[in-house]
Amino acid sequence: MHNKPQLHLGSEADTALLARAFARQLRVGDVLLLNGGLAMGKTCFVNAAAAELGAEGVSSPTYTIANIYPAKAFSLLHVDAYRLRGEADFIDLGLENELEHGVAFIEWGAALEGVFEHYVSLDFSPDPARETARFVAFSSFGARGGALLKLALQAYREAQP
Ligand SMILES: Nc1ncnc2c1ncn2[C@@H]1O[C@H](COP(=O)(O)OP(=O)(O)O)[C@@H](O)[C@H]1O
Ligand SMILES: [Mg+2]
Is the CB of residue 9 below 6 angstroms from any atom belonging to ligand 1? Answer: yes
Nearest atom of ligand 1 to the alpha carbon of 11: 1
What is the distance between the alpha carbons of residues 147 and 154, in angstroms, rounded to a whole number?
A: 11
Burial zone of 122 (CB within 10 Å; 0-12 exposed, 13-18 middle, 19+ buried) = buried
Full DSSP string of 87-143: HHHHHHTTGGGGGGSEEEEEETGGGGGGG-SSEEEEEEEEETTEEEEEEEEEEEEHH
What is the distance between the alpha carbons of residues 92 and 43, in angstroms, rounded to a whole number?
A: 24
Which is it for strands 130-141 and 6-9: parallel, antiparallel or unpaired?
antiparallel
Q: Quick one: pLDDT band at residue 2, thresholds 50, 70, 90? A: low
Of 32, 1, 6, the C-alpha closest to 112 is 32
What is the distance in A from the centroid of ligand 1 to the CA of 113?
23
Tell me: pLDDT of 13 over 90: yes
What the chain holds in terms of domains, given with CATH numbers, is 6-159 (3.40.50.300)
pLDDT tens-digit profile of 90-106? 999 999 999 999 999 99
Q: Quick one: pLDDT band at residue 39, thresholds 50, 70, 90? A: very high
Looking at residue 90, its pLDDT comes to 95
Is the CB of residue 20 below 6 angstroms from any atom belonging to ligand 1? Answer: no
What is the distance between the alpha carbons of residues 82 and 94, in angstroms, rounded to a whole number?
A: 17
3 state SS of 69: strand
